[in-house]
Amino acid sequence: MKFDLKCSIQLSREAEEIADELQEFVKNIDVDADLKLKIEGNELLIHILSHEKRSHQIVLQLYKQLAIFFGKRKIGLRGIHVDEYEIEFEVEKKPLKEISIPFADLKINDKIVVMKIANKEEDFLREGYVDRMIRLVKEKIDKQYYEGKKEYWQLLWQSEEKEHVWDKDPSEEMQKRGWIKLMSKGKWFYFPPAAAIMRAMERIALEEIVAPLGFKEIIQPMHVSFATWIKTGHLEGMPGEIYYICEPESREIEEWEKFVDLLKITKQVDEKELLKNLKPPKTGVCYAQCPNIYAALAGKTIAEESLPLLIFDHSTPSDRYEAGGKHGIERVDEFHRIEIVYIGTKEQLLDIREKLIERYKYVFNNILDLEWRMARVTPFYLQQAGIAGGEENEIKGTIDFEAYLPYRGDRSKEWLEIQNISIVGDKYIKAFNIKAQKSQLWSGCSGIGLERWMVAFLAQKGMEPENWPDGFKKYLNKLPEIPKFL
Ligand code: ATP
Ligand code: ZN
Ligand code: MG
């Protein structure tokens, strides 16, 4: 490793007369680096060459000592300017293709990276950019190795094969019957029969799983702030899947006059005029319900007697800018989920996961009577980030629940994820600074996708209530009539 930093500090006046004193002072500074300081007119030039400690750290410490030294001589320091900074470090694997990052030029030779930064102000050093840039280079190289690799998938449990009443696509059939209507990309309107089925799914989840296990309901805003998503990692993980929200620049109708005039004349939205009246987004529509839950708990210390903390939300839909979205309701841009969140000790979370699995099993076997399976999955990037490994008894990680879709044919591959259970360790607990009096906290969540439950059920059991299993009929045995349209 090599940290070769050249920077300069503007002095409040010319100070060449103290050059000798400065050299004396430098001799007495104890750093494990090659340190050269020189006064030129009203500028102090600093050159730090270090092989272990990072020069950008050294210069910040040095600055404090220099401020005292110059202060005694009635000379003020006007901040550090980075003239040139060359950092050389080794990476574990050599990049497969070229990489670049902002604020620096990169030259990579086999596993040696040379990163050159020039002409930056003090904040750049103080805000920790340099360390994050080094990390980003490593992360980008790692990503080149796991891109395209399949996610880890290991079957945990599978129901028996079942006979299904039909092999039609329920979304198509519901459209034909007028039960659902596509409103805009991936957003559907559910007429009474479809709404009744989805609400029945919701009641089953609430009454058979959420309530018996003691989860308590919360209600949250549908907007999620960037600050929250920076902490959870969503904003760097899936910026291209978020629906962003803009506030208007102003509520004053005069400000909107031109926009309204154009609209009245053309009966169309003038997009340029509209954008002039909008602020840049600072929030987005809920993507998953857990981030706002963690944000609401940020900075709190949870009493031991309140552990495990068990909460759930079904107040807001989740929106995602998905690929596609025109076909059916199994992959939509706006979906309805119950999300439950659990925070507690590792042992408490293990216990909750066991109970959840037991309840889910009961619902899928005894109420919905599905052909389904359960698998341990770990997206490769999570394995890479040390969030979860691939081992069978691993506590952290995700279990997916999947159902077979007969209309898609091939039983060996046509399974749809209908929900999951995750334990994420202390990732979010740390990010939001949530504490307990004594216990070490972990957290996790489980997202129950109501559209997915509905598709799986209808795909296997058909759309006629008389064919539905008795368990489900207890929740819904007759469909509301649909208005007759001529
Ligand atoms: P997928 O791999 O299918 O995209 P995901 O891993 O993105 O799912 P999560 O973010 O883990 O899904 O959300 C958990 C649950 O939310 C899923 O199991 C599913 O029930 C539901 N879900 C996610 N995305 C959609 C979508 N686009 N349409 C309908 N339901 C969805
Ligand atoms: Zn979640
Ligand atoms: Mg997805």
Q: Does the pLDDT at position 411 exceed 80?
A: yes
The atom of ligand 1 lying closest to the CA of 420 is 18
- Residue nearest atom 8 of ligand 1, based on CA coordinates: 417
Distance 165 CA to ligand 3 centre (A): 29
- Residue nearest atom 22 of ligand 1, based on CA coordinates: 449
The atom of ligand 1 lying closest to the CA of 320 is 27
In sequence order, the 6+-apart residues with CB closer than 8 A to the CB of 152 are: 376, 377, 378, 379, 380, 383, 390
- Residue nearest atom 18 of ligand 1, based on CA coordinates: 419
Distance 288 CA to ligand 2 centre (A): 6
pLDDT one-digit tens code per residue, 145-196: 988 777 889 999 999 999 999 999 999 999 999 999 999 999 999 999 999 9
Positions of E strands within 199-336: 216-218, 223-225, 244-245, 283-285, 301-302, 309-313, 318-319, 334-335
* Token reading at 148: 């395209």
Distance 287 CA to ligand 1 centre (A): 10
Name the closest ligand to CA 293. 2
The atom of ligand 1 lying closest to the CA of 400 is 18
- Residue nearest atom 2 of ligand 1, based on CA coordinates: 417
pLDDT value of residue 405: 97
pLDDT one-digit tens code per residue, 312-363: 999 999 999 999 767 799 999 999 999 999 999 999 999 999 999 999 999 9
Q: Which of 470, 456, 477 is nearest to 196 (CA)?
A: 477
Distance 193 CA to ligand 1 centre (A): 23
Q: Which of 441, 421, 336 is nearest to 157 (CA)?
A: 421
pLDDT value of residue 152: 85
Helix (H) or strand (E) holding 36: strand 34-40
Q: Does the pLDDT at position 385 exceed 80?
A: no
Q: Give the residue, out of 152, 420, 421, with the most ligand 1 atoms within 8 A of its beta carbon, to mutate for a pocket test.
A: 420
Pocket around ligand 1 at a 6 A CB cut-off: 288, 320, 322, 331-332, 335, 337, 417-420, 447, 449, 451-452
pLDDT value of residue 482: 87
Reported confidence tier of residue 485, pLDDT bands at 50, 70, 90 = confident
Quick check: 387 and 425 in contact, CB under 8 A? yes
Residue whose tokens read 């320091």: 77
- Residue nearest atom 19 of ligand 1, based on CA coordinates: 449
Straight-line distance from the first to the last Cα atom of the chain, in angstroms, rounded to the nearest whole number: 77
- Residue nearest atom 5 of ligand 1, based on CA coordinates: 417
Reported confidence tier of residue 388, pLDDT bands at 50, 70, 90 = low
Q: Which of 292, 262, 296, 287 is nearest to 277 (CA)?
A: 262
The atom of ligand 1 lying closest to the CA of 401 is 18
Dihedral pair phi/psi, residue 244, rounded to 5°: -85, 150
Mean pLDDT of the chain: 94
pLDDT value of residue 339: 98
pLDDT value of residue 95: 96
Name the closest ligand to CA 319. 1
Stronger pLDDT, 82 or 483, i.e. the higher one: 82
Neighbour-count burial for 355-386, b at 16+ CB within 10 Å, e otherwise? ebbebbeebbeebbbbbbbbbbbbbbbbbeee
pLDDT value of residue 378: 77
pLDDT value of residue 433: 98
pTM metric for this prediction: 0.92
Collapsing DSSP states into helix, strand and coil, what is residue 22? helix
pLDDT one-digit tens code per residue, 263-287: 999 999 999 999 999 999 999 999 9
Overall average pLDDT of the 398-426 stretch: 95
Amino acid type, 205: A
Distance 426 CA to ligand 1 centre (A): 22
Residue 248: asked if its preceding bond is cis (omega within 30°), the reply is no
Regarding beta strands 223-225 and 309-313, do their DSSP bridges make them parallel or antiparallel, or are they unpaired?
Answer: unpaired
Q: Does the pLDDT at position 380 exceed 70?
A: no
**DSSP-assigned beta bridge partners for residue 335:** 318
The atom of ligand 1 lying closest to the CA of 325 is 27
Provide the annotated active-site residues: 290, 320, 322, 331, 339, 400, 417, 420, 445, 452
pLDDT one-digit tens code per residue, 430-471: 999 999 999 999 999 999 999 999 999 999 999 999 999 999
pLDDT one-digit tens code per residue, 104-144: 999 999 999 999 999 999 999 999 999 999 999 999 999 99
pLDDT value of residue 387: 54
Distance 350 CA to ligand 1 centre (A): 23
Q: Does the pLDDT at position 289 exceed 90?
A: yes
In sequence order, the 6+-apart residues with CB closer than 8 A to the CB of 409 are: 167
* Token reading at 115: 């990163």
What are the percentages of helix, strand and coil residues in the chain, rounded to 5?
35, 30, 35
* Token reading at 3: 């940290």
